[in-house]
Structure 1
Amino acid sequence: MSNGNDGLDTLLIGIDAACEPVLERLIETDSIPNLESLIDRGASGPLTSQIPPWTPSAWPSMYTGVNPGKHGVYGFVTFDGYDWEVVTANHVREHALWTLLESHDLTSVIVNVPVTYPADEIDGAIVPGFIGPENPKGHPEGILEEIREEIGEYRVYPNYSRGDDHKTDREKMDEYCALARMRGEAFRYLTGRFEPDFGFVEFQKTDTVFHEFEGDVEKVQRIYEATDEQIGRILEECEPDRVFVASDHGMGPYENYEFRVNEFLREEGYVEAVTGGKGMPSWNPIRNQLQAGDDETRWEPGTVERLAAKAASIGITPKQVGRVLRRVGLDSVVKRYVPSGVTRTGSEQVDFPSSRAYMRARTELGVRINLEGRDPEGIVSQDEYENVRRELIDRLSGVRTPDGDPVFGEVVPREEYFWGPYVDEAVDVITVPNEFDQFLSAQLVGTQFGPPTEPWNHKLDGLFVATGEGIDADADLSGAHLFDVAPTIMAALGVPHSDRMDGSVLPVVEEMGVEEYPAYAGDESTTRDDETVEKRLADLGYLE
């Protein structure tokens, strides 16, 4: 319960992709003294993430305490048949931690947590983060404008796009550090303004630095130093009684192969290919529309894209056009004449309605069966379903790299990882990369294996830290899971957790029991304001 003074009762610091291997190197160089102190004074250990261990699904699992089968978000995009759009908080169909706390008259301040736009209306404040718009309305109304009046500039995303060569790496890292500063300043201001019982602030560029700069040691160190500085200021000014640190997943090098799942499925007779249409699920084309001033969350090929698809059908591909332009010395205009939308529609891609099974998006970590009665043009009958699924599991389980190693550590039915009312929205077969050292791709590029598109990417083990008043610093955290964070935070605040949560209270705090909370009845629409975010999402390179 509230501690009765001006300090926070309980603080949760989210650090995207934080994990022991990364922090150990930073501790050796004295780069993160505040995080190091929290670790030394409390209980800490690996926090096993969920499947799939990617931001848009993992953070909702953390803040609801339930698996994706119960909250309904499996990746960056959600599907309507074979069509897709970027997820929002309206797709998260379970109560967030802060709404449950409010039922016990506990107030919250939430800053920059992914997939929190549109913001819940709570007693306190929410400034949405990643996958929200650049200028999220937040809660209460006008809170973002108030923050900017108080601290100056505040942005959700960097002021450049990934791959932008108009800024130097130093300038880009300056922007990374500026974003970390904005998170800290906004959180400190809101904590002073609302005096909440619970505070949750998330730092996201600690993940992006690995994707954009391929794990460059100096750049990783710089953003962690900036993040640690903000953590120190929050601890000093907000005076929390208890502090928790949690990450959504880990991060590490991918030193083996990229396996193109749909190429394998095509060779096995499951995937049919087509030129034309929208291409594989991605936010890239939506980003382009938004940069042009359009306010749409879906993308349909325009005249130029349709012409590109027609040209490809007679053998003239975007790659050929690009080669010709380069040959005559026009490299600088290749992107202008072969834009991403043209490349998408002019390239070979999965024909979803005609395929028996396929990978929709690589971050889903699995294969979807085109099932009759469930999918709009399903061609696998209900009677065939289990046989087809067993066959897929057997064939995928046997895939070996060119070196003879297994590509997958597990190939299992989705029920092994998902349960709840939204299981049918998941893939049918889960494909977990072997030790998360094989990079999966959904693209059709002609060959099954190649080097990883990204040499650094997500690992399964993140980080959990607990310290402060009433925390058992000697607690055994072995087996700690992402789903355990929400019930543990509730117990730390002296209230029972939800009976629908899949996690348990970790032994760092005393168990407060379980309570039946009202069923979730939120708005499942996907309305957005005039300033949407998809133009920024491709900058992290999660989808192809």
Structure 2
Amino acid sequence: MKALIIGVDAGCRPVFDDLRETNSIPNISALAAEGLSTELESQIPPWTPSAWPSIYTGSNPGKHGVYGFVTFDGYDWEVSTADHVRARTLWELLDDHGRSSVVVNAPVTYPPADIDGAIVPGFMAPEEPRCHPEGLFEELVDEIGEYRVYPRYSRDDERRSDEEKIDEYRRLARMRGDAFRYLADRFDPDLGFVQFQKTDTVFHEFEGDPEHVRRIYEETDEQIGAILDACDPDCVFLVSDHGIGQYENFEFRVNEFLRDRGFLNVSEGGKGMPSWNPIRNQLRDGDADRSWDPGLAGRLARGVSRVGVDPRALLDRLEHVGMADAVRRHVPDGVVRATSKQVDFEASTAYMRARTELGVRINLEGREPDGVVAREEYEAVRTELMDQLNDVQTPDGKPVFEEVAPRERYFSGPFAEDAVDIVTVPRDFSEFLSAQLLGDQFGPPTEPWNHKLEGVLIAAGDGVAPDAAVNNAHIFDVAPTVMAAMGVPYSDRMDGTVLPMVSDTGTAPYPAVDGTTLP
């Protein structure tokens, strides 16, 4: 194995420093001591489904096309998949050079690409996903006994104790290690890529509980050590897509602000804005459908709510009339969403589609299906919105935003128009942004632990200069640096550059993804 990429979602120096004090990550610590360790700046937006494609394509979302958990088509949306990643991945570029790869659990890799090697899709794939080559999932289960993408419980399942949930997370980490070691032995790849996701989720679900975090990272570190021992790669890159930390200030509800300022209208019920909860439940159940619909339970609940009946009081009755599956699948989230106020996209001037996009979209005529803002008014409306957002202060008199910027400052490429029109970067990533309509503009953070911009990069092994002066490393730099470490030129379409701890191999033109027109 020429190069190994180990993805530790949300890995960052503050977390690693705390874990080193209890000797919980000896293998990660040994890698850092042997090689080079530096902060790795994430992108905007710094969330898993957009940031990992940026890492393995070396390009910004305006070139690869994925901005979040869902991809929008007008006012509708569907789960982001590998079909939406429209820049060529690291393993596809290496395939052009006759270099093979084994990729395990990389987010947004379903359906898998056809390469020399193996791909086991990760986060955002349905449970028991189709792998590459065909039939690999069944072979993997036969060999290692069990493999799952998601835990066996939903996050709001109160029937399981925290201890049981953490044990399940640890099992998932072991599955990643077992699968990768088996496939590395089976395919003998030039490149290995294995990603651990629960190092992020443990913060979201358990609000940074130190003991829960320690147990997940201990298991992850043990699997990293076993992979290094079994594969003995020439060089190793440990990479995170973003950092993690506490949000100690306020939640700012952008759509409530837009509603109060006259830019946004609401409607009763419906599919509304994307919510990860029902999508996650579908994927965990093995459902490959890319979108979510309120379904029968949701439509009934919405209907009865209009005549003054509380839909939650009907849940038991719905189960007794043969609707147990629908109830379990979409309640409480589906019913709550189907009966609550939602953004009326068609009737609004501007809105936040999803909080993880970090920005506001303008309902532009000729671009959106029912756009209300004329093209000649676009810049005036955008400037007015930016000015008003720039002035927003928290209840204690501090600015909500570190930056309010036009999208062109962050996104470029053939898919830049799919982005928000106004990028809103929260101050120090300590103010939580929400797209929900909850009455007031401010409240306590829905998730007290969430993403920060500063992740981490550790590089060690042959050809890596541990004393190199690396400043301002960015996630876009990972793909070109790995390609250079493997002795091949990186794509001239990448936004990143080769970090100076390896020798630069220069750029080369590569074929584009079918159906795209790139500059």
Using structure 2 for the length normalisation, give the TM-score: 0.94
Whether the aligned pair in 2 keeps the contact of 1:318 and 1:347 (CA below 8 Å) is: no
Look up the match of 2:196: 203
RMSD: 2.1
Look up the match of 2:251: 258
Q: Secondary structure at the match of 1:196?
A: coil
Q: 1:360 is aligned with what amino acid?
A: R
Instruction: Please say if 1:275 is aligned against 2:235.
Output: no
Shift of 1:172: 1.0
Instruction: Please say if 1:139 is aligned against 2:132.
Output: yes
Whether the aligned pair in 1 keeps the contact of 2:127 and 2:285 (CA below 8 Å) is: no
**Cα distance in 1 between the residues matched to 2:344 and 2:401:** 25
Residues 21 and 278 of structure 1, relative CA distance in 2, 3 Å threshold: same
Look up the match of 1:127: 120
Structure 1 residue corresponding to 2:174, chosen from 162, 178, 181: 181
Residues 401 and 523 of structure 1, relative CA distance in 2, 3 Å threshold: same
**Cα distance in 2 between the residues matched to 1:513 and 1:199:** 22
Residues 302 and 34 of structure 1, relative CA distance in 2, 3 Å threshold: closer
Whether the aligned pair in 1 keeps the contact of 2:45 and 2:67 (CA below 8 Å) is: yes
Higher mean C-alpha deviation, range 158-167 or range 308-317: 308-317
Look up the match of 2:465: 472
Look up the match of 2:105: 112
Q: Secondary structure at the match of 1:45?
A: strand
Instruction: Please say if 1:30 is aligned against 2:20.
Output: no
Look up the match of 1:90: 83
Instruction: Please say if 1:387 is aligned against 2:380.
Output: yes
Look up the match of 2:336: 343
Q: 1:508 is aligned with what amino acid?
A: M
Runs (4+) off by over 4 Å? 286-295, 310-319, 335-338
Whether the aligned pair in 2 keeps the contact of 1:77 and 1:282 (CA below 8 Å) is: no
Shift of 1:308: 3.5
Instruction: Please say if 1:297 is aligned against 2:290.
Output: yes
Look up the match of 1:409: 402
Higher mean C-alpha deviation, range 154-163 or range 89-98: 154-163
Gaps of 5+ in 1: 1-7, 326-334, 525-544
Q: 1:407 is aligned with what amino acid?
A: V
The aligned runs of 1:389-468 (5 Å cut-off) are: 389-468=382-461
The aligned runs of 1:472-491 (5 Å cut-off) are: 472-491=465-484
Describe the superposition over 1:192-235 as per-residue Cα deviations: whole angstroms up to 9, x where unpaired: 11111110110110000001110000010011000100111111
The aligned runs of 1:50-89 (5 Å cut-off) are: 50-89=43-82
Q: Secondary structure at the match of 1:353?
A: helix
**Cα distance in 1 between the residues matched to 2:295 and 2:137:** 35
Look up the match of 1:378: 371
Higher mean C-alpha deviation, range 157-166 or range 222-231: 157-166
Residues 258 and 104 of structure 1, relative CA distance in 2, 3 Å threshold: same
**Cα distance in 1 between the residues matched to 2:370 and 2:443:** 32
Residues 201 and 285 of structure 1, relative CA distance in 2, 3 Å threshold: closer
Look up the match of 2:143: 150
Aligned residues: 507
Describe the superposition over 1:374-395 as per-residue Cα deviations: whole angstroms up to 9, x where unpaired: 0000000001100000011100
**Cα distance in 1 between the residues matched to 2:142 and 2:121:** 18
Gaps of 5+ in 2: 318-326
Describe the superposition over 1:430-464 as per-residue Cα deviations: whole angstroms up to 9, x where unpaired: 00010000001001110000000011000001000
Using structure 1 for the length normalisation, give the TM-score: 0.90
**Cα distance in 1 between the residues matched to 2:172 and 2:86:** 29
Whether the aligned pair in 2 keeps the contact of 1:90 and 1:523 (CA below 8 Å) is: no
Structure 2 residue corresponding to 1:219, chosen from 182, 199, 212: 212
Shift of 1:411: 0.4
The percentage of aligned residue pairs carrying the same residue is 65
**Cα distance in 2 between the residues matched to 1:301 and 1:177:** 33
Q: Secondary structure at the match of 2:428?
A: helix
Residues 522 and 209 of structure 1, relative CA distance in 2, 3 Å threshold: farther
